[in-house]
């Protein structure tokens, strides 16, 4: 009787557990899309630049505030002016930092490809919520690929408007 109950439980749970990698990746995609939208809204609300900087190793990204004076400065995590995380769930003293490696929910996810205007590792929004390459210069299309155990997604950011599109590219 116990063996039969365990067999039934395994039959119900096994399909759910098999797709966990895909769920993990799609959850990371939803998080990134929400954070891009947040950065754009934050730029509009604060009437200043907001930038999402993607880490070189593909482990995540952070949201920072920049000015005209430091617009072209390379990213320095020690001196960056991080935007405060409104949800309070992100580690890093309230800084808006998303690190897939440190966050147990996204441990198998990474940013496997990144194509921004001019080879940049950042997506910058101006005070009107538009994507820019430099002050007054609109950015071209951006592309981010998130890869997990069982899934791969492409996130595209439209030039000027910052409209976000998502496409599953692993079949």
Instruction: Name the pLDDT band for 84 (thresholds 50, 70, 90).
Output: confident
Q: What is the pLDDT of residues 22-77, one digit of tens each?
A: 788 999 999 999 999 999 999 999 999 999 999 999 999 999 999 999 999 999 99
Q: What is the pLDDT of residues 113-147, one digit of tens each?
A: 999 988 899 999 999 999 999 998 999 999 999 99
Is the predicted pLDDT of residue 20 greater than 70, yes or no?
A: no
* Pairwise CA distance, residues 169 & 4, whole Å: 40
What is the pLDDT, as a whole number, of residue 46? 94
The domains located in the chain, with CATH, are 20-168 (3.55.40.10)
Would you say 106 and 114 are in contact if contact means Cβ atoms under 8 Å apart? Answer: no
What is the pLDDT, as a whole number, of residue 107? 86
Predicted structure pTM score: 0.84
Instruction: Name the pLDDT band for 4 (thresholds 50, 70, 90).
Output: low
How buried is 165 (Cβ within 10 angstroms: 0-12 exposed, 13-18 middle, 19+ buried)? Answer: exposed
Give the neighbor-by-neighbor strand order of the sheet with 122-125: 97-99, 60-66, 49-54, 122-125, 131-134, 137-138
DSSP string, 33-98: HHHHHHHHHHHHHHTSEEEEEEPTTSSEEEEEEE-STTTTSPP-TTT--BPB-TTS-STTTTB-EE
């Amino acid at each position: 009787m116990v063996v039969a109950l365990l067999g039934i439980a395994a039959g119900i749970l096994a399909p759910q557990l098999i797709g966990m990698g895909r769920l993990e990746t799609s959850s990371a995609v939803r998080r990134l899309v929400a954070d891009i939208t947040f950065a754009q809204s934050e730029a509009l609300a604060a009437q200043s630049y907001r930038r999402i900087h993607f880490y070189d190793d593909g482990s995540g990204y952070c949201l920072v505030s920049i000015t005209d004076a430091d617009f072209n400065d390379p990213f320095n995590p020690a001196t960056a002016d991080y935007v405060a995380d409104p949800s309070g769930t992100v580690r890093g003293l309230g800084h808006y930092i998303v690190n897939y490696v440190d966050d147990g929910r996204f441990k198998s996810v990474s940013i496997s490809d990144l194509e921004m205007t001019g080879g940049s590792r950042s997506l910058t929004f101006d005070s009107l919520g538009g994507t820019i390459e430099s002050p007054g210069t609109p950015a071209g299309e951006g592309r981010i690929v998130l890869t997990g155990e069982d899934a791969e997604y492409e996130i595209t950011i439209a030039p000027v408007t910052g409209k976000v599109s998502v496409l599953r590219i692993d079949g």
